[in-house]
Amino acid sequence: MRTYFQCLPCFAKQAVNALPMIDEAAREDVMRDVMRALAEIDFATSPPQMAKIIFDIIKKRCGNRDFYAEAKKKSNAYVLESIDSFREMIDTSSDPFETALRLAIAGNVIDFGAKHDFSDHHIHDNIDSVLNAEIPKKQIEALRSAIDEAANILYLGDNAGEIVFDTLFIEQFPKGKTTFAVRGAPVINDVLMEDAEAVGMIKLVPVIDNGADVPGTVLSECSESFKKTFAKADLVISKGQGNYETLNDMEKHIFFLLKIKCDVVARDSGYPLNSFVVMPPKNGEAGGEK
Amino acid sequence: MRTYFQCLPCFAKQAVNALPMIDEAAREDVMRDVMRALAEIDFATSPPQMAKIIFDIIKKRCGNRDFYAEAKKKSNAYVLESIDSFREMIDTSSDPFETALRLAIAGNVIDFGAKHDFSDHHIHDNIDSVLNAEIPKKQIEALRSAIDEAANILYLGDNAGEIVFDTLFIEQFPKGKTTFAVRGAPVINDVLMEDAEAVGMIKLVPVIDNGADVPGTVLSECSESFKKTFAKADLVISKGQGNYETLNDMEKHIFFLLKIKCDVVARDSGYPLNSFVVMPPKNGEAGGEK
């Protein structure tokens, strides 16, 4: 997906939201540098690629710290606190796969990029909404079959906190064929290996990092070993807007699970703003190497 | 009021909102120029001064048109359509001055600057809200007394549409001492002389223009004759955020009537977001020349 003019205020807002986490003395320079970068933006690239440029500016000005580290720990801990009740919700439901899937999409609300007003309340509001959301049965069944039939599933993680719901969903998959991917370096609140460790994902499935620090999946930025795993996968499950924005034009057997968080992605995808989406592959077929 | 970092995304959004009104071919250049201007922003100046710079960029790229002309006409016509029912609402209320005051503040919702999602519905929602809003009796009475006691009232208009409510409020003032001010040239949907003519303000009180095209009142940008009228006024009634942002630090007997539309003004003023405000002068005293 390309970047739209409407993304510019959102990039500026992402930078503003990061300001409290950096030295006060550096903030004005950061904002001026971000505005200069936005003036030179390449609209043909995807929004997460521009977000990476913005966070590079911020990191450079503040000693390359992972300034969302604390926030990510809190998000993980916050969702982990309720994991037993979520697991019970899944186990006692009439369709544990579907309930776990819906919860995994609800978890996508934990996003410090597109959503600027994250608070603890959102996740519980979203869980109520997602459990009752209209997600076409056909799309849920298509994903269920794809997971059953796939030989190599690559599951692309998105944000801290959300990854706890991903563990619950992956528990529903047939064993031994799923790999979970995290980002290769800090960017916003995107998942890293340490998050996969903190929430127990590493005990469930193999976890790899993609070698990049884009809040999405831009293959040209990723490590060779990640690219191999990606190519080998005959099913990719992509969580969140960042992965959608960077992969939606690709010929590949990808299901996108996300909440539509902005008008731009709503228009681009054709799904309504705030809807919870299980988006099947465009062409239905175009698997990985078998 | 100074400009805050939080204003930058809002400026970018104002530019994006203006895009549908300018040639498609010019849009990318406009956005890049706006971002460049934001990179060089003087944070010591008020937000409306920066908004003027942004709209100058847009106007320069699109032949200096008043690109909100149609929208302003529609806003005026839309409120005028219901003027009889609003006047009846005022006349049949237990306190016509207070009701007209509340409606004048409700009208402040018609703003294509701070509010990006204006639609017809907002005004009626706001009227219900403002009629029931908690506005301290003491502040309403302070304004009533100030109007009764003043010799020269200068009423600073804000936006098209809103100006219709200003006529209804000014009808409640003692006759012969009020002057209404409009902007000197087009900027966003701010009122011009043609709006004062369209809604009948010119039949009610003398109307002057301030000689400037800032969406606020920056005296150094205004004409000499406006500055004289301003200096002579022993009471200024200032409508809207733009006038607040440019005049709130001034030693002058000014009452600010506005809806608080953004976090920045909420924090700066101490009033909650979305509240309807009658803000008395800081020091209580500092009138004009008598």
Residue A204 falls within a domain, yes or no?
Answer: yes
Residue B287 falls within a domain, yes or no?
Answer: no
- By CB atoms closer than 10 A (0-12, 13-18, 19+), residue A216 is buried
**In terms of domains, do B85 and B183 share one?**
yes
**In terms of domains, do A34 and A77 share one?**
no
* Pairing status of strand A254-259 against strand A207-209: unpaired
Provide the shortest C-alpha distance from residue B73 to chain A (in Å).
26
Residue A195 falls within a domain, yes or no?
Answer: yes
Interface of B with A in 2-21 (CB under 8 A): 5-6, 8-10, 12-13, 15-16, 19
Determine the Cα–Cα distance for residues A241 and A246; give it in Å rounded to an integer: 9
Residue pLDDT, tens place only, A115-162: 444 455 567 777 888 888 899 999 999 999 999 999 999 999 999 999
**In terms of domains, do B220 and B271 share one?**
yes
Partners of A41 on chain B (C-beta within 8 Å) are: 32, 35
Of A10, A36, A41, the CB nearest to B39: A36
Interface of A with B in 27-46 (CB under 8 A): 27-28, 31-33, 35-36, 38-41, 43
Q: What is the CA radius of gyration of chain B?
A: 18
CA distances from B128 to B98, B105, B134, B274 (A): 14, 12, 12, 13
**In terms of domains, do B81 and B182 share one?**
yes
| Contact at CB, A9 and B19, closer than 8 angstroms | no
Q: Examine the fold and report which residue of B61, B81, B107 is the final residue of a domain before the chain moves on.
A: B61
**In chain B, helix, strand, coil percent, each to 5?**
55, 10, 35
Q: Give the residue among A242, A246, A248 at the shortest CA–CA distance from A187.
A: A242
pLDDT for residue A287 is more than 80: no
Residue B286 falls within a domain, yes or no?
Answer: no
**In terms of domains, do A54 and A90 share one?**
no
Of A15, A27, A39, the CB nearest to B35: A39
Q: Give the residue among A52, A55, A60, A49 at the shortest CA–CA distance from A26.
A: A60
Query: pTM value?
Result: 0.89
Task: Kindly report the backbone phi and psi dihedral angles of residue A172, in degrees, each rounded to the nearest multiple of 5, phi listed first.
Answer: -85, -10
Regarding an ipTM greater than 0.95, the answer is: no
* Pairing status of strand A254-259 against strand A276-279: antiparallel
Question: What's the full length of chain A, in residues?
Answer: 290
A138 contact partners, CB below 8 Å, separation of at least 6: none
Residue pLDDT, tens place only, A198-225: 999 999 999 999 999 999 999 999 999 9
Say whether residue B53 is in contact with chain A using an 8 A CB cutoff: no
A14 contact partners, CB below 8 Å, separation of at least 6: A51, A54, A113, A116, A188
| Contact at CB, B35 and A32, closer than 8 angstroms | no
**In terms of domains, do A26 and A161 share one?**
no
Residue B267 falls within a domain, yes or no?
Answer: yes
Based on the structure, what is the number of domains in chain B? Answer: 2
| Contact at CB, B28 and A5, closer than 8 angstroms | yes
CATH code of the domain containing B76: 3.40.50.10880
Q: Is-contact A261 A243, C-beta < 8 A?
A: no
Q: Give the residue among B196, B167, B160 at the shortest CA–CA distance from B75.
A: B160
Note down the domain range covering B136. Answer: 69-279
User: Across residues A77-102, what is the average pLDDT?
Assistant: 94
**In terms of domains, do B88 and B46 share one?**
no
Phi-psi bin for A68: left (phi > 0), alpha (psi -120 to 50), beta?
A: alpha
Half-sphere exposure of B15 (CA within 13 A, CB side): 36
Strand partners, B236: B154, B254
Provide the shortest C-alpha distance from residue B51 to chain A (in Å).
14
Residue pLDDT, tens place only, B244-271: 999 999 999 999 999 999 999 999 999 9
Provide the shortest C-alpha distance from residue A283 to chain B (in Å).
32
| Contact at CB, B16 and A31, closer than 8 angstroms | no
* Confidence at residue B109, expressed as pLDDT on a 0 to 100 scale: 80
Residue of A nearest to B38 (CA): A35
| Contact at CB, B28 and A43, closer than 8 angstroms | yes
* Confidence at residue A129, expressed as pLDDT on a 0 to 100 scale: 82
Residue A123 or residue B58, greater confidence: B58
In this structure, which amino acid lies at residue A57? Answer: I
Of B16, B28, B41, the CB nearest to A9: B16
